[in-house]
Amino acid sequence: MIVRIAVIAVALAATFASTAAPAQYFPTRPMRLIVPLAAGGGMDSVTRNIAHSFTEALGQNAVVDNRPGAGSLLAMEILADAAPDGHTLMMISATTVIYPLLYKSKLDAVRDFQPVSQATAQGYALVVHPSLPVKNVAEFIQYAKANPEKLTYASSGIGSPIHMTTELMQIATGTRLMHIPYKGMGAAYADLVGGRISFSFATIISSQAHVKAGRLRVLAVSMGKRAPALPDVPTMAEAGVPGVVVVNWYGLIAPKATPKAIVERVAAETAKAVKAPAMQKHLVADGSEGVGSTPAEFAAHLRAESEQWKKVIKQGGIKAQ
């Protein structure tokens, strides 16, 4: 009996060692953080800050690899082919979740990868051109209902988070709005500020300068709570539209078979990075906040996002083009 117990103990110890060892010695070489967008944007900036934190905390260089294209599919293909050892990660956003719901895609961020951690949360601001005779959301809805399909809005493309957020607002308010998709928000902003587009949901950081200069008017924010960068601006719920709560976000995923211990360690380091005082100050200035969720919390978030946008696509009759 003693011998049998000893054998079992040795087996258990070996099992524990085999699962703990990867995290204990991780990382053993430089880390690669794939970004599915070009350098210079908000996602790129957040990822570079996290990479810098990883480099300092983990003793190996963490480098950012920008791989834009095909609605994040190119970056997902690279991640899917990477060794599942935590050394290759990918930063994603709602776009990465929405794309497979609209377009034929062999990879799905929710189904085919391991969630690591939601890094940040940032809301959208509902902004209108000052020529629009509305001062708040109630007036905006009233005007939209009186002028169906006359109000135009810009987005960075069909299926983009801005497009989907506006579709959600249409469903919640019973309005009919005219979508003008652009290849990017740069040209869209030019037309919005120039009065050729009526309104848009825009990131808080990209709209603040125009709002302060009087070129745009902000009516509400899309989060469940007020944005620290715009404390005097109501949420959509406070403005009378409780069905529109959208949080733009960034988060890390890993190859599917990445060991749990490594995933948890990367998640913990992500939380430390985004909650560091300097990072928090940077994020608040951008209209964001650090999250640093656990893998389980991020998995639940991704499932909820997928279900929400499936419903919007179906109810809005949105088709890929």
In the chain, domain spans = 2-121+247-316, 123-221
pTM of the model: 0.86
Q: Cβ(19)–Cβ(263) under 8 Å?
A: no
Q: Cβ(99)–Cβ(161) under 8 Å?
A: no
Q: How confident is the model at residue 2 (pLDDT cuts 50, 70, 90)?
A: very low
Mean pLDDT for 247-257 is: 96
Closest CA to 80 of 108, 118, 116, 121: 108
- pLDDT at 42 (0 to 100): 86
Closest CA to 159 of 121, 105, 207: 105
Q: Cβ(263)–Cβ(85) under 8 Å?
A: no
Q: What is the pLDDT of residues 38-95, one digit of tens each?
A: 898 889 999 999 999 999 999 999 999 999 887 788 999 999 999 999 999 999 999 8
Q: What is the pLDDT of residues 111-137, one digit of tens each?
A: 999 999 999 998 899 999 999 999 999
- pLDDT at 22 (0 to 100): 63
β-partners of residue 113 are 255
- pLDDT at 12 (0 to 100): 44
- pLDDT at 286 (0 to 100): 77
Q: Which of 32-41, 191-200, 280-289 has the lowest mean pLDDT?
A: 280-289
Mean pLDDT of the chain: 90
What fold characterizes domain 123-221?
Answer: D-Maltodextrin-Binding Protein; domain 2 (3.40.190)
Mean pLDDT for 296-310 is: 96
Judge whether residue 18 has pLDDT over 50: no
Judge whether residue 170 has pLDDT over 50: yes
Q: Cβ(183)–Cβ(321) under 8 Å?
A: no
DSSP 83-149: -SSSSEEEEE-HHHHHHHHHS--S--TTTSEEEEEEEEEEEEEEEE-TTSS-SSHHHHHHHHHHSTT
Judge whether residue 21 has pLDDT over 80: no
Q: How confident is the model at residue 8 (pLDDT cuts 50, 70, 90)?
A: very low
- pLDDT at 189 (0 to 100): 85
Q: What are residue 69's phi and psi, to 5 degrees?
A: 135, 145
CA 34 vs CA 29, 48, 65, 184: distances in Å: 16, 10, 5, 20
Comparing 8 with 71, which gets the higher pLDDT?
A: 71
Q: Do domains 2-121+247-316 and 123-221 have the same CATH topology?
A: yes
Q: How confident is the model at residue 208 (pLDDT cuts 50, 70, 90)?
A: confident
Q: What percent of the chain lies above the pLDDT cut of 70?
A: 93
Going by their DSSP bridges, the two strands 178-181 and 217-221 should be labelled as: unpaired
- pLDDT at 11 (0 to 100): 45
Helix, coil or strand: residue 289: strand
Judge whether residue 23 has pLDDT over 80: no
Class of domain 2-121+247-316: alpha beta
- pLDDT at 215 (0 to 100): 95
CA 205 vs CA 55, 227, 228: distances in Å: 27, 11, 12
- pLDDT at 272 (0 to 100): 97
